[in-house]
Amino acid sequence: MLDVTLIGCGAIGRTLLQRLAGHAGVRITHVVVTDSHVDDVQRTLGDAVRVVCDVPADARLVIECAGHEALTAHVLPALARGVECAVLSVGALSAPGLAEQLADAAARGRTQVHLLAGAIGGVDAIAAARLAGLERVTYTGRKPPAGWRGTAAEAVVDLDALAAPAVILEASAREAARLYPKNANVAATVSLAGLGLDATRVRLIADPTVRDNIHEIEVEGAFGRMQVTMCGRPLPDNPKTSALTVLSALRFLDNRTSAMTI
């Protein structure tokens, strides 16, 4: 049985808990939340999981799904003391130096930090193609207006009155992840697998004609050319997050306990 500590109990964390209930090889033993929410979350989750405000000293594997602050407050120190960590909030790595800090902490702790693919596919192919040299990586993210509510897009377009697709941002992956941290994890993941945050171009679109979150990637390099289009349905509890994000974490955990992995 693989014991896992989960950082965060938002829409992603709650769905992970539900999907892992009764799993034959994986169990979440602890959930890390801010100190002010420990009691409320504990009452909600019951006695099957212990809710705490810090990663336990004896943790073996951590799954993070809580955002930038969790990376600095919990993931960095856990890595430094040798705890293996998997990160879903990859967009947070747009902060200058944070990716290097994570790698350094993992090296000092003689462990690894895994950046999970989340809502996008083809990351393995991009990372492989990078070894021979990449020339261009572009990402286009298209979501219904509801997926952009509560973000910087509200200052760019009237989401409620939108009748046609509208480009809300054209920039580098670093800028996209900074301005849309809860929407642009995919852009950051694609860039970190390929040309990096500053060389990867991103286009974000609010589109009232679609219902799903649509991700488009174009990659060119010595390997040839690749185009990937994915239409991902959002989590029912959070239209800003693709359901595949949760499945990406589940796949990672399944690979840790299965006799054969792919």
Which phi-psi region, left, alpha or beta, contains residue 72 (left: φ > 0; alpha: ψ -120 to 50)?
alpha
The stretches of the chain forming alpha helices (DSSP H) are 11-20, 38-45, 68-70, 76-80, 98-108, 123-130, 173-179, 185-193, 243-257
Active-site annotation holder among 23, 74, 114, 215: 215
Strand partners, 219: 137, 226
Are 115 and 177 within 8 A, CB to CB? no
Question: 215 an active-site residue?
Answer: yes
231 phi, psi to nearest 5 deg: -110, 100
The stretches of 47-200 forming alpha helices (DSSP H) are 68-70, 76-80, 98-108, 123-130, 173-179, 185-193
- Catalytic residue list: 215
